[in-house]
Amino acid sequence: MGLTIDDTIMTSDQSPHTARQVPDSPHEWEVSWLPGRTVDRDTAITAMILADIAATGDIHPEHRLWPAVQSWSAELNLTGPDAINQASQPPPDTTRQPEPPWPGAGRLGPDLDREAAD
């Protein structure tokens, strides 16, 4: 388990989730598994710890870390099971394919294809 915490972004080596500072708002952070919510930096760190733990796939009520998971979840106004369930889901932006900016984007026209063949 490992978190990388910088001035404007937090990442995990276990989880695809991230936390990012809200642009032009140094005290507000958005966490990918808490869509629609902004939190302070300390709460973002807590959320990223939970995402890191959830990514192991081995957390359950009998686990030795469960009391800590429940406590950290309560800081987010969630139960332990709810936090682990939400943090275990893939981030919203990784489940959809990016759309091209316009029809035919990334394709060469017929004339350019012929030139490349010459």
Parse the chain into domains and list their residue ranges: 3-117
Residue 100's pLDDT band, with cuts at 50, 70 and 90, is very low
Q: Is the model's pLDDT at 109 over the cut of 70?
A: no
Q: Which residues pair with 30 in a beta bridge?
A: 20
The counts of H helices and E strands in the chain are 4, 4
Q: Is the model's pLDDT at 103 over the cut of 60?
A: no
Residue 63's pLDDT band, with cuts at 50, 70 and 90, is very high
Cα 69–Cα 94–Cα 89 angle in degrees, nearest 5: 30
Contact 32, 62 (CB under 8 A): no
What pLDDT sits at residue 2? 85
Q: Is the model's pLDDT at 113 over the cut of 50?
A: no
Model-wide pTM > 0.85? no
Q: What is the largest CA-CA distance in the chain?
A: 68
Q: Is the model's pLDDT at 26 over the cut of 80?
A: yes
Task: Please count the other Cβ atoms lying within 10 Å of the Cβ belonging to residue 41.
Answer: 16
Who's near 109: CB < 8 A, 6+ residues apart? none
Q: What's the rounded mean pLDDT across residues 86-109?
A: 61
